[in-house]
Amino acid sequence: MIQVSDLHKAFGSVKAVNGVSFRAEDGQITGLLGPNGAGKTTTLRMLYTLMKPDTGQVLVDQLDAQTETVAVRRKLGVLPDSRGLYKRLTARENIRYFAELQDVPDAEARPREQQLIEALGMDDIADRRTEGFSQGQRVKTAIARALIHNPRNVILDEPTNGLDVMSTRAMRKFLHQLKAEGRCVLFSSHIMQEVALLCDRIIIIAKGHVVAQGTPDELRAQTDESNLEDAFVKIIGTDEGLFG
């Protein structure tokens, strides 16, 4: 479970994240939805300990990300916004390298590696060097690598960005599988339909603030709109940047 309390982060005069609080529960998919520049990536970077908040607290399975950083990293699988693969290594070697970094014994890592390769439909690319991989192939490799240590909590920054329809569908199915395994899945998107389709809970963020949060039904009720798309537009006050 991930709990975020009153996070703040400024870059000079830009208040990227300005008092963000929410919870992402185990066995649920939580979506962080907001237009470009809303503060999603900055929020996620603070959650996965890449960036220190100016103020506020992040707890991952009750561990404080600022004081128990290494333990928190072990509990997280992260797809960062820059996918950052080692291009001279094959997809499988990228995955194995992360298994080593996470101290996963070979006897555990090998079957898990195979499971992930199958679940993500990567058989045909597993033994190719990642240099020249398409967007979708890079995302799949980066996700497999992020999950090799079997983390309870999974954070994905715009996981379907740049994916075609088939790959997007496969990604949705994969996220549902992670949820069914009882994991806490938190992902960001600026695509309203994406979040509406996938999420149990939605956190809507705009200009560094959480402007609404709840289940799709709760958001509809809060805005008195029967259609989720209309509810989103009402909450954010504009539809700019919200549709894929």
82 is an interface residue for ligand ATP by CB under 6 A: no
Distance, in Å, from the CA atom of 6 to the CA atom of 21, rounded to the nearest integer, reads 5
Q: Does residue 33 interact with ligand ATP by CB under 6 A?
A: no
Closest approach of ligand ATP to the CB of residue 207, in Å: 9
* Angle subtended at Cα 144 by Cα 1 and Cα 88, rounded to the nearest 5 degrees: 135
190 binds ligand ATP (CB under 6 A): yes
> Looking at 8-16, 86-94, 126-134, 225-233, which segment touches ligand ATP (CB under 6 A)?
8-16
**Binders in 170-189 for ligand ATP, by CB under 6 A:** none
Among 4, 7, 33, 38, binds ligand ATP (CB under 6 A): 38
Per CB under 6 A, 36 contacts ligand ATP:
yes
* Angle at the Cα of 5 from the Cα atoms of 66 and 191, rounded to 5 degrees: 105
Residue spans of beta strands (DSSP E) within 25-114: 28-33, 55-60, 63-64, 76-79
Smallest gap from Cβ 206 to ligand ATP, in A, equals 9
CB 186 within 8 A of CB 14: no
Residue 136 binds to ligand ATP (criterion: CB under 6 A): no
| Distance separating alpha carbons of residues 216 and 42, to the nearest angstrom | 24
Q: Compute the least distance from the CB of residue 75 to ligand ATP, in Å.
A: 23
